[in-house]
Amino acid sequence: MYRERASRLPGAAVWTSVPAGEDGTGRVLPDGCMDLLWHDGRLLVAGPDTRAHVDAGAAGPWSGIRFHPGTAPTLLGVPARELRDRRVELADLWPAAEVRRATARVHAAHHPARGLEDVALRLAASAGPPGPPDPLLTRLVAALDAGRPVTGTADELGLGARQLHRRSLTAFGYGPKTLARVLRMRRALALARAGVPFAETALRAGYADQPHLSREVRSLTGVALRELVPPDAAS
């Protein structure tokens, strides 16, 4: 079971999850984001995914705070490119004393998800003004999520291709074209899960046709589109 709510940290979401499989297996789809996680008394960081991440053998509840795309590296002090397609113990990234304080804060909260949110809020406060999110990166994410082309968006932001790619690697873990692919897939999944026919979903989400949509979904998630859509919504 998965539950999510908006966080007090702007743009973030707080979530809890109990994998459906008895062995803890679960499939996490790319979303352009990074998460601070709590599982089995440990703090971890989920880096940006370029493909679905399959958790295996990690039974039991998870809690997390998912940061808006591009904001986590500033808060956590680690470039996103170093964590691409990885799940890393926070203790491998931060000094031991800082990890102990963060762990104690989560333990002291009435629920781990609330404790993670408190940790994230303190990180944002310590970043100071202007702090995250970077307005330029916010505009980039919004433009790509609306289906705008990468080249045109770079021109509007006044960035050259190399500069945009370099900043994207630090903020998102990959280049803007990969981010655009991930965001486009998320738009398509939202439409399909709302009952929009697959052929119409493809066109509305910016794919050439339904086969193009199917190929991209399988490439990014490892499974067919139909497996990601409730049976009563698939068409």
Give the C-alpha separation, 126 to 105, whole Å. Answer: 16
Mean pLDDT over 156-181 rounds to: 95
How many angstroms separate the Cα of 80 from the Cα of each of 76, 116, 231? 10, 19, 36
- pLDDT value of residue 56: 67
| pLDDT more than 70, % of the chain | 92
Q: In the predicted model, what is the mean pLDDT of the chain?
A: 92
Region of residue 60 (left: phi > 0; alpha: psi -120 to 50; beta: else): left
* pLDDT at residue 101 in the model: 97
Query: Is residue 130 over pLDDT 70?
Result: no
Confidence check: pLDDT of 19 > 80: no
pLDDT band at 57 (very low <50, low <70, confident <90, very high): low
Q: What pLDDT, on a 0 to 100 scale, did the predictor assign at position 230?
A: 87
Q: Phi/psi at 39 (nearest 5 deg)?
A: -150, 130
Whether the pLDDT of residue 231 is over 90: the answer is no
pLDDT above 70: residue 129: no
Does residue 128 carry a pLDDT above 70? no
Read off the pLDDT of each residue in 44-64 and give the average, rounded to a whole number.
88
pLDDT at 20: 65
The highest-confidence range among 26-30, 120-124, 228-232, by mean pLDDT, is 120-124
- So what's the pLDDT on residue 25? 58
Whether residue 108 has pLDDT greater than 60: yes
Q: Is the pLDDT reported for residue 132 higher than 60?
A: yes
| pLDDT of 58 | 65
Mean pLDDT of 213-228: 97
| Structure confidence at residue 27 as a pLDDT band (50, 70, 90) | confident
Mean pLDDT of 9-38: 85
Phi/psi for 32 (5° steps) reads 80, 5
pLDDT at 26 over 90: no
Residue 23 or residue 39, greater confidence: 39
